[in-house]
Amino acid sequence: MASLNMLIFVCISYVVLLFIVAFMADRLAAKGRTTWLRSPIVYTLSLSIYCTAWTFYGAVGYAARSGLEFVTIYLGPTLVMIGWWWGLRKLVRIGRSQRITSIADLVSSRYGKSNLLAICVTILAVIGVTPYIALQLQSITLSFSIFSEADPSGATYSETATVFWVAAGLAVFAVLFGTRNLDANERHHGVVTAIALEAVVKLFALLAVGVFVVWGLSGGIAETMARIDASEIGQWQMKSGRWTAITFLAAAAFICLPRMFQVMVVENDDERHLRTAAWAFPLYLLMMSLFVVPIAVVGLDLLPAGSNPDLFVLTVPLSQGRDGLAMLAFLGGFSSATSMVIVAAMALSTMVSNHIVMPIWLSYRGDGGASVSGDVRSVVLLSRRVSIAVIMGLGYSYFRLSGGGTALASIGLISFTGIAQILPALLGGIFWRGATKAGALAGLSVGFGLWVYTLLLPGLGVGLVSEAVFQQGPFGLSWLRPQALFGITGLDPLVHSVMWSMLLNAAAFTLVSLFSFPSPIERLQGAQFVNVFDHSSGPRGWSGSVAQVEDLMIMSQRILGAAEAQALFRRQVILQGGRGHLPDPTPTFLQTLERELSGSVGAATAHAMVGQIVGGSSVSVQDLMAVADESAQLLEYSSQLEAKSTELARTARQLREANEKLTQISLQKDAFLSQVSHELRTPMTSIRAFSEILRDTSGLAEDEHSRYATIILDEAMRLTRLLDDLLDLSVLESGQVTLNMREGVLMDVLDQAVSTVLAGADSPLRVKRRRVGENVVLKSDLDRLAQVFINLIANAQKYCDAERPELTISAHHIGGQLVVDLIDNGSGIPTDVQAMVFEKFARVNAEKAGGAGLGLAICREIMHRLGGDVTYLSGQSGGAFRVTMPLSLPKLAELAAQ
């Protein structure tokens, strides 16, 4: 007999083998050589996690207890695979294009990324799947116990310890291969390959036992058929209600079970694999079920009454002394259990971590928590690992609590019914655009509640629901009896529960959907889901992977620049140890590329771009929003930049203007200094020259002597005048002049000016006045005003070139201003120089008149200080200046009225 130690050794060796297979597959996948890993056969075999220990061991037991009814468990998936593969294809396409990570994610995505919905589905899944995991643990333990009973050495065996270590070992395996890294697509090639191997092992084991039973024990097909006919299993007694219900449940569970969704949708590499799976998987199921009835019949025959029919697969070979075969059968059952537990734990951990732990962690961390992506990755991985451990712990606890007594199959069906509650929301979501989040929530809650009330609680044992409730209903409401809702009695409890929960679930879902309005994002997602084939590209063949890399290259060149992109790709080729210039599209490479691109265009955009090319996924609304966010940030940033650059440009312009002004002022200053220098040096030259003449020349005539002395005197006075003028101008220009404002009459000012100029003048300038207009009282600095008039009259006296020089002075009001015009009868100032007569040192006439050319400049400065102006009046016959000044006091006292 096989010793327990031997069994444990085989077990551990098998697990090590699985480890190696998974590890190699992961390595291969990392290198991008996944051709055979992604074959449709591997995909089909991975689907076989549908066949858990429940089906491996339980189907025989089921057959032994209920005859052919076990077929329904296989019938449901078969019908789905054959008759509804187009629906599965739609699911797979949606999963791919929306980067769905779990069934909870799918439902939540469809209904506007509702996390509430995701949490509901996750809780439902955890509650539904935990007993199922316990079931697997139980099956392993039971099989251990069979060997332990048969162990001649009588080795100590503790059931609890076994369960604990099995659970721990499976948790470690799931952690190691399910959460090794974070893949955006949540694909785990290692795990999938390992479970494909396990699928082969379990099929082979069951077939081997079957062949042994048929040919080894019964002596051939004919004899076996005869035995079957003889047993009561052969009696065809079909309860159509249960058949329909269980077939439906199996079909629904096949779609909705988290682990099935994981391998069928999430781990799917190519939706064309479904075509192969559509015939290969039913074939697999057929082979799995082929020998169930013979084994059951032979087991019932051979083994003592009261043996657990669930373990016939093990006990029949053992009873015949076929230890090797029994060991193989044990491995088959072990495979079934472990593959289911590992994938279920992975799928559930993804859901728990993504929809419950991470949102809580992120909100706990507050804003900014997600900005450090590396941080989040490690937290996600940790939360997944902890989730796996917790889920295994739950399964273990459930096993301990339930005591492991219940028949395996019934737990399975209870789980199935719970999970099936997701179906209406799921199908409605992918086929009906009118489905809303409220509807989905309503349906799920109703279905979940009914399931718990009518099936789960009663199924868990009488302790939880009192007998009274069963008999009379809660609070004596008989129509609410858990197994006879609305007074309909006589139904099988399972059929009853399935019927009411699914019916009311679907009804609630439909009605609430009809009467609620979807949010915009729900509407968008609904369209994306329902019309997924319009929105996403078809699958790409693996031969196309080179084309993909070329596309990536083209895109990268556009974003990073040709040289950068080529260098990046070449580095990757070298890292992969390949040749040529294009690397294989391995996850590592894609990750690196995405990171590089995100530096230029933002993480969300980079992800969407790479996903678009490699995954064939359509861009989801979330992606678009992220892209829009990034664009908005970029836009804001660039508009800030733009504003800054405008500001800089303005500052630069102001600086340039200031600089031009300064340059101009500097030029003016140079010119002014140069002029001053000239004006000073000229009289100095004469003074010096004649001084030297007077000193050095002996024998000068008296008149010469006196003339030269006069010249020196004149030039010295000219210098003095110049300096006076310069000082005057400087004071005026700097604004430091103090004005002595007082009231006076214009006539008096003019009288003073005329008499000053004409006094001692030999030139015959006639001044004509119109005294009527001059009787104006004004308030001004009268001395300065007189200075202006003196200057203008003196100019006329100097420059008027008429034969009989005449100056006409007239005063009048124009627009509230007092205007005094001084017009002579000379030839005036030529038009081209009129503009510059007021500039410093500007001299129009060739002849010198002793002035420094500052007179008019001073006049203008004075008038500006007095709030008026002096301008040249063009268009007059002679030289014409106009002095304007404000009538600061409104009292225009017409003194002439006196």
Partner 1 sequence: MGRHVLLVEDEPNITEAIRFLLSRDGWTVNTHASGTDAVEVIRVARPDLVILDVMLPGKSGMDILRDLRDLDELNDMPVLMLTARGQMRDRDMAEKAGASRFMTKPFSNTEVLNAVRDLHAQASQS
Binding site for partner 1 (CB under 8 A): 674, 677-679, 681-682, 684-690, 692-693, 696-697, 711, 714-715, 846, 848
Residue with Cβ nearer partner 1 (679 or 824): 679
Read off φ and ψ for residue 173, nearest 5 degrees. Answer: -60, -45
What is the CA 119 to chain-centroid distance, rounded?
Answer: 23
Q: Are 117 and 123 spatial neighbours (Cβ–Cβ below 8 Å)?
A: no
Joined together, the tokens standing for residue 832 give 């081209």
Interaxial angle between packed helices 562-575 and 545-560, expressed in degrees from 0 to 180 and rounded to the nearest 10: 140
Beta-carbon contacts of 461 under 8 Å, excluding residues fewer than 6 positions away, are none
Residue with Cβ nearer partner 1 (846 or 897): 846
Residue with Cβ nearer partner 1 (14 or 690): 690
- Measure the CA angle with vertex 775, ends 770 and 776; round to 5°: 125
CB of 667 to partner 1, least distance (A): 13
Of the candidates 499, 493, 409, 401, the residue with the CA atom closest to the CA atom of residue 455: 493
For residue 146, the tally of other CB atoms under 10 A from its CB is 18
Say how far apart CA 5 and CA 142 lie, in whole Å. 16
884: DSSP letter: E
Cross-sheet strand order for the sheet of 766-769:
766-769, 806-814, 817-824, 880-886, 869-872
Say how far apart CA 606 and CA 593 lie, in whole Å. 9
Residue with Cβ nearer partner 1 (651 or 663): 663
Residue with tokens 């200094």: 673
Collapsed DSSP state (helix, strand, coil) of residue 768: strand
Collapsed DSSP state (helix, strand, coil) of residue 743: strand
CB of 686 to partner 1, least distance (A): 4
Residue with Cβ nearer partner 1 (35 or 685): 685
Of the candidates 347, 306, 444, 355, the residue with the CA atom closest to the CA atom of residue 46: 347
Say how far apart CA 721 and CA 852 lie, in whole Å. 8
Q: Which contacts (CB < 8 Å, 24+ apart) does range 12-15 have?
A: 14/331, 14/334, 14/335, 15/169, 15/173, 15/338
CB of 829 to partner 1, least distance (A): 15
Say how far apart CA 527 and CA 510 lie, in whole Å. 18
CB of 764 to partner 1, least distance (A): 23
DSSP annotation string for 94-127: HHHHTT--SHHHHHHHHTTS-HHHHHHHHHHHHH
Measure Cα distances from 212 to 47, 69, 321, 615 in Å: 27, 24, 12, 47
70: DSSP letter: G
Residue with Cβ nearer partner 1 (696 or 703): 696
CB of 837 to partner 1, least distance (A): 15
Of the candidates 589, 606, 588, the residue with the CA atom closest to the CA atom of residue 597: 606
CB of 802 to partner 1, least distance (A): 21
CB of 739 to partner 1, least distance (A): 35
Residue with Cβ nearer partner 1 (362 or 680): 680
Q: Are 880 and 821 spatial neighbours (Cβ–Cβ below 8 Å)?
A: yes
Residue with Cβ nearer partner 1 (466 or 710): 710
Residue with Cβ nearer partner 1 (16 or 671): 671
Residue with tokens 């609305």: 486
CB of 690 to partner 1, least distance (A): 6
CB of 720 to partner 1, least distance (A): 16
Residue with Cβ nearer partner 1 (397 or 685): 685
Burial readout 649-678 (b: 16 or more C-beta within 10 A, e: otherwise) = eeeeeeeeeeeeeeeeeeeeeeeeeebbee
Residue with Cβ nearer partner 1 (158 or 685): 685
Dihedral sign, Cα of residue 597, residue 601, residue 606, residue 609: negative
Joined together, the tokens standing for residue 272 give 């064309």
CB of 834 to partner 1, least distance (A): 18
CB of 678 to partner 1, least distance (A): 4
- The length of the chain is 898
CB of 684 to partner 1, least distance (A): 4
Say how far apart CA 317 and CA 471 lie, in whole Å. 45
Residue with Cβ nearer partner 1 (50 or 690): 690
Collapsed DSSP state (helix, strand, coil) of residue 892: coil
Beta bridge partners of 809: 769, 822
CB of 846 to partner 1, least distance (A): 4
Joined together, the tokens standing for residue 162 give 């076994």
Residue with Cβ nearer partner 1 (302 or 676): 676
What proportions of the chain, in percent to the nearest 5, are helix, strand and coil? Answer: 70, 5, 25
Residue with Cβ nearer partner 1 (663 or 677): 677
Beta bridge partners of 741: 781
CB of 708 to partner 1, least distance (A): 8
Residue with Cβ nearer partner 1 (712 or 792): 712
CB of 657 to partner 1, least distance (A): 27
Residue with Cβ nearer partner 1 (630 or 714): 714
Say how far apart CA 318 and CA 792 lie, in whole Å. 140
Residue with Cβ nearer partner 1 (692 or 748): 692
Collapsed DSSP state (helix, strand, coil) of residue 51: coil
Residue with Cβ nearer partner 1 (640 or 697): 697
Burial readout 446-482 (b: 16 or more C-beta within 10 A, e: otherwise) = bbbebbbbbbbbbbbeeeebeeebeeebeeeeeebbb
